[in-house]
Structure 1
C-alpha cells in the first residue's frame, strides 16, 4: 500500500493507526466532512474509519467514500459496545471490521488482509485492461514539437537567473525554479520532492497548485515505486506509459503515486548518479501533452538543478560541521591553536585567548611568530620536522606561565603536511591545588605527630617525675638508686630515639659520604645493641644473643656474609641507625619475650650492588600493615615508634640505595640494596 486515509475522532487511536501504517503516505482526518473533502482531491488505497457512537452516519460515509474511491479497501474500527445487529448491519459495507479493544497483532493481521485484497483487486483490474489492447496502449497524442518562442525563453532565462542568484537558500532556489518551469511549460500543478538527509524518503519541498493535505502527507520510499524506477532508468516517465504497463506491479505503483501527486510527468533530478529529487508536472493549463522539445529542455534543467541541490546540501553540511567544530573549540577546557601550511595561525579558540591573554584578532591569519615563545617554536618543529610533543610541561618566557602542551601534525593526501595543532592547558590552578594539598597533608602529618608525641612521651615522663619526687627521700637506698638509674635511663633513651627518628623523617640531613664496609657497619650496630661483635676475618655465620632494653626482649641474632668485601659509599653512623631501626621494628612486632633476627650480606649477581637483608621468623606483621609500612602518614596514626622503617628508607635512598619490605613463608624481611664501590 502506498496511500491511506485514517478517519478518527479519538486522537490517541488516530496516532496508533498512523504508526501502524509506517512506510505509507498517510492522510488523517478528525471528521467525516474533512475526510470526504480530502477524498475528492486524493485517491487512496486504504481507508481506516473509526465508527463512533452513535453509528447512524456510518453507512452514509461508507457509501460516499465508495463513490469517490471505488478501488479503496475499507477497514471499520467498531467501539467495544457495538454488538447489536443494527450496528453490525451498518458496518457491512466495510471490507474488514476490527472491534475495540484490539492488540497490535490483531491490527497488523487486518492490515495484511486488506493489503492482500488490494493486490488481488489490482491484479484483476490489470487483467481486464490487458483484454482491451487498444485501451491499454492508448497514450495521449503528443502535441506538435513546436519551437519555444523567444519571448518565452527570455522569461524562462530571467527566472532561472533569479534561481541562481538565490545562493544557498534551497527553498528559494526550488521556488524560483518552479516559476521558471511555469513560464516554459504552463503546468496546472507542479512539485519537487527532495530526499531527506538520511535518504529514507522523498517529501514535497516546493509545489504549485497542490492541496495542503497532499503536501503534508505524501512520502515516497526510495526502494519502491516512482523513486526506484527513476533512479534505475535515469529518464522521465509519463503517467500514460505507467498505466499502459498494467501487468507490472511497479508500473501500477508509479501510476498511483503520479495520480496522488496529480501529475502526468515525473522527471528525475540526478547528481553523480544519485537521485536527489523528483520534479512532477500536472496537466498543461491549456490541455494536451508536453512536446518532446519541452520535455528535453525540462530534463536538462532538472539535471542542473539536481547538481545545484547536491552542492547546496554539501555547503550546508560543511557549514554545519564548521559551526559544530567552532562550538566545540569555544567550549573546550584546553587552549587550541592551529597553523596552516603557510605557517600562519588559522584557529585560536576562546580558552587559548584566556590562558595566553592575547586577542585572537591580533594573531589569526598572521605568522606564528606572533605567538608567545616557545609556542611558535613547537608548532614550527611539528609542522616542518614532525617533532610532536605529548603532555610536555613548558613555561612561557613572558609571564612564566606553566603549561602542559601537546602538538600534532595534520597530514593531507600523501606525505605532505597541511598544518599543525597545539593543545595546551594552564597548570597554574593544578600546581596551586597540588601545593595546597601538600600543605594540607603536611599539616595533617604534623597534627598527628604532635598528638602521637604527646602520647608517647607521657609514660616516660611520668616515670621520671615519680622517681624524681622519691629521690630526695630514698637517696640513701642503694637499691632504689640502682633501679632509678635503670628505669630513667631506659625512658630517656626511648625519648632520644623517638626524637632522632622525627628529626631524620622531616630533615634532609647532611650526610658524610665516604667508602664504608657494610660488614663493619653491621658488626658495630650489633655491638651497640648489646651483642658481642663477630670476628671480622671470618665469613661464617655467627650466632649472637643480647637483651634489648627498649623492647624488653631476649634476642637471638644470626649474622652471615657471602664474600669478603662489601664496600659502599655512605654515612657510617646513619647506616647504623637505619639498620637499628629495622631491627627494633621486628623486635616490637614479635609477640612474647623471645625474638629471633637474622642479618645477611651478599652481592647482587647482575649489578655491582651490596644487599643487606634483615629478617625475622618471630615477627607478626599483617599484610595490609606491611603494604603501608613506608608511608609515614599512615604509620603515625598507629604508633609513632613504628615510623622507624620510614626513617630507614629515607636514609638509604639519600645514599643512593633502595629499601624493600617482603613477607614470605613465616618470615618478614627487609632488603637494603646499596651501590657498591670497587675495592
Structure 2
C-alpha cells in the first residue's frame, strides 16, 4: 500500500511526531491549547491558550516533514511508475496543507477566524489527487481503500473508547483513594493503556477486516506465505519449479506462468505452466528487461510500462514481456544477483495485481531464490555422489575409507570381492573388527606415523583355512595409504587403496626368468673368456713341467703363477655367485651418512695415495632408514673403487645427499660425482651390463652388482656422464619408517 517506506529515509522523526500527537491529544482536554470560544458577528472565534504557539509550531513542523518525506520518496525512487504516483500525491498534499495551515493555525493567532472552516474542506483536494492517482496510475486496489478506511475507523473508535474508559476508570480510582479528581494523571494513565494495547489491537482488527472484505484474497495470501516457508525443503529442481508455478497460479487464479533461470550468459525456460505462444525463447544478459531487473531488482508490470513512458528501454521491456506472453515479471534474487525470473499472466478474474500482491510475490521470489539454489546444490551433490559411486564401482583397485572414529565410510565393489565382506556389513563398523589383519595394520601404521605410505606390497590369503588345506598361493597386493586431514592438521580419516599385483608379479617372474636365461648365456660367454686366460697359463706350465721338472727355479715360478691364476678363477666364480644368486636382504635401521663415513674411512689410505679430495654435502633432515648394511657397503665400495680407477692422477669426489618428497612417498637421493675421464655417450646404456668393461683388468661385474643391490633396496640408479668431464651416479632409495617387507616397489628416479 502507498506510500512504501524507503530505507534511505530516516523514520525517527515520525516517532517524535507521534509522541507529540499523544501529548497534544492529552493537552486538548485542558485550557492550555484553547481556553474557550467567543461568539462574534462573523461567527465563532477560538480563545487561544498559553501553549497554542507551541501547538502551531508542532503543526507546521509536522506538515513540512510530511511534505519533505513525500519529496524525498519522489526523488529517490528508481521506479518511474512510483514517481508519478508520489508526484500527484505530493502536489495534492502541498495545496491542501498550505491552505489548512494558513487558515486554521496561523491566521487565528492574529484574531482572524474567517478561514477556520477551510481546514476540513481542503481535504477534498487530497481526495481528488489521490482518486486520480488510483484511477490513472493504480496507486492501490480500490478495495484497499475500503479496507484501510474500515481498519482505521475501527482502530480510532477502539482507541478512543479505551482512552475514555481509561480516563473514567482512573478518575474513579483517584476519587476513591484520594478524595478528589486528578485529570492530568488520569490522562497519562489512559495514554499508557492505549500504548500497551495499540499494536495487538491493530493486528486483530487487520485480520478481522481482511476476512470480512476479502476472504479469498486473505486465503491465498496465507497459502502463499505458507508456501514460502515450505520452499526451504530441498527438492529436485524440476519438481521444485513446477511446485512454485502451480501454487502461485492456482492460489491467485492466474492463467499461467513460466520460470527462467540463468545459464551462463542467457536466461532459459526451465518450467512452464499454461498456454504460452513461444515456449523456447531465451533472453540474453543484454536484454533490456534483464538489465533493468538486474539493476532495480523489482517487479515489472506490462500495463504500467504502457502508460508512463515512450522511452526505448521501457518499450523494449514491454516487447520482451510480449514475446514471452507474460503480463508480470518477478525477479529471483540470490545474494544480490539476478538468478532467474518468474513470468506470470494476468488473473483469470481480470483483477489487477495490487501492491500487496506484488510485495507478496517478491517475498516469495526471494524464498524461491534460496530454494532453487539449494535444489541446484542438492542436484550437484547427487550427481557428484553418483559420479563417485560409479568411479569407485568400476575401479580395478579396492578402496576403503575410514573416518576419525575408525568407522568404515567407503567400501567399494573391488574391496568386497577382495575380502569377501559385503558393503552393508562393513560400512559404519569399526575397521579393526571387520577388516583382515593385513589391511587393518596398514591403517594403524598411518595413524601411528601420521602419514601415508605408497610403496610396499603384502601377501594376502582370503581364506586361510582353505589355503592351508589346498596350498593356495597368496595374492600379492600393492598397498597405498593416504591421510585425510581437517582443521589444525588433525587426522579425520585414512584412505586405503589395494591393487592386486598377483598377475603382474607372475608376468614379472616369467620375464625375470627369461632375463636370467639370457644372463646365463652372457655369464657363460664371459666365464669362458675370463677363465680361459688363466687356464692357458696353467696348461702351458703343465706341458713344460715334465721337461723342466728338475729346474727348481721353474718349479717355484710355476707354483706361484698357478696359485695366482687359480685365485683369479676362484675370485671370479665368487663374484659371479654373488651376482647371479644374491642373498635375501636383511634390513636393519641405519643412517646412510654413518655408512658413507665408515666406507670413506676404510678407503681413506687409497684415496689419499691417489690424491683424491673428498667433498661431502649432507642434507641435515635425512632420517634413519631400513637398509641392508652389507649390501649398501658393497654399493659404496664398488662406486668408490670405480672413482679411484678413473682418477689415477687425482681429482675431486663429491658425495651429496638430499631428501625428496615424491608422489610415491619420501626418498633419499645419493649423488657420487667424480672428476675423472668420464664415459663415452655410446657406452652409457651398457655400464650396468654384466662383464661390460673398458678397463684392461676389469671384470665388468662391479656396476652390475651395484645395480642389483640398489634394486633389492626398492630403489633405482641412474648415471650421467660426459667424456673428459667426469661421471655422476644417482642412487634413489625409498624411506621406510618401519620394516614392512623386502618386497618393496621400485622407486622411479
TM-score normalized with structure 2 length: 0.45
Q: Which has the higher helix share?
A: 2
